[in-house]
Amino acid sequence: MADLLGSILSSMEKPPSLSDQETRRRAREQAARLKKLQEQEKQQKVEFRKRMEKEVSDFIQDSGQIKKKFQPMNKIERSILHDVVEVAGLTSFSFGEDDECRYVMIFKKEFAPSDEELDSYRRGEEWDPQKAEEKRKLKELAQRQEEEAAQQGPVVVSPTSDYKDKYSHLIGKGAAKDAAHMLQANKTYGCVPVANKRDTRSIEEAMNEIRAKKRLRQSGEELPPTS
């Protein structure tokens, strides 16, 4: 009987120690705090949405406003505002480089921003319609000038005077042609003029000189110098 009772007691789970109880208590407290924070965050989102709905509604009713810029918001707040604007039938955009500095601008549908205006906001600049109109006119003018230049074709540049007339007192008008016809090779560069290459002897004189050279070679005599 004692052995049976001992086996039953040993098989039963031991009561939790003091450390286990403390761990469970802390876990319950942490879960309670997390739930409370979630409820607070949810309530803050509801309140923020109501505030944005009120501001968007006032913006729609104000006929003097065509756009509205909001203060920088975090990602969740921007998402809520974009949703409110979409439901209201307006247009909205986010601008700014850093996430902490990004802000939302809303526009009425009939005054939707142009691409140039959006690019100006993305660069961090204020939109000036007057300057934009002047820039657009200058761009159109430059484009028209390019089109007109393309239709006219390439520009041919003609000199105002002929260089031959300018230096005619030095070289003469026919000097270039005459120099081309009279050009001969210079002896100092190892070239022989054509006139020096021409043989002015008659055929009979040439044949006699060749026979004389042949006889001299056969007799072993020294060839006398030719004039």
pLDDT tens-digit readout, 86-144: 999 999 999 988 878 899 999 998 988 988 899 989 888 888 777 777 877 888 888 88
Average pLDDT, the chain: 78
Query: What pLDDT is attached to residue 17?
Result: 59
pLDDT tens-digit readout, 134-167: 877 888 888 888 888 888 866 666 666 665 666 5
pLDDT exceeds 90 at position 209: no
pLDDT exceeds 80 at position 192: no
Phi and psi torsions of 216, nearest 5°: -65, -40
Angle CA(67)–CA(70)–CA(72) in degrees, nearest 5? 145
Query: What pLDDT is attached to residue 89?
Result: 93
Q: How many CB atoms lie within 10 A of CB 91?
A: 15
Instruction: Output the pTM of the full model.
Output: 0.49
Confidence bin at 12 (pLDDT 50/70/90): low
Query: What pLDDT is attached to residue 195?
Result: 55
Angle between helices 18-61 and 75-88 (to 10 degrees): 40
Query: What pLDDT is attached to residue 71?
Result: 93
Options 3.30.360.10, 1.10.490.10, 3.30.1370.50, 3.30.70.360; CATH for 25-128 is 3.30.1370.50
Higher-confidence residue: 39 or 131? 39
| Cα distance between residue 52 and residue 69, in whole Å | 12
| Cα distance between residue 203 and residue 78, in whole Å | 114
Q: Parse the chain into domains and list their residue ranges.
A: 25-128
| Cα distance between residue 145 and residue 152, in whole Å | 11
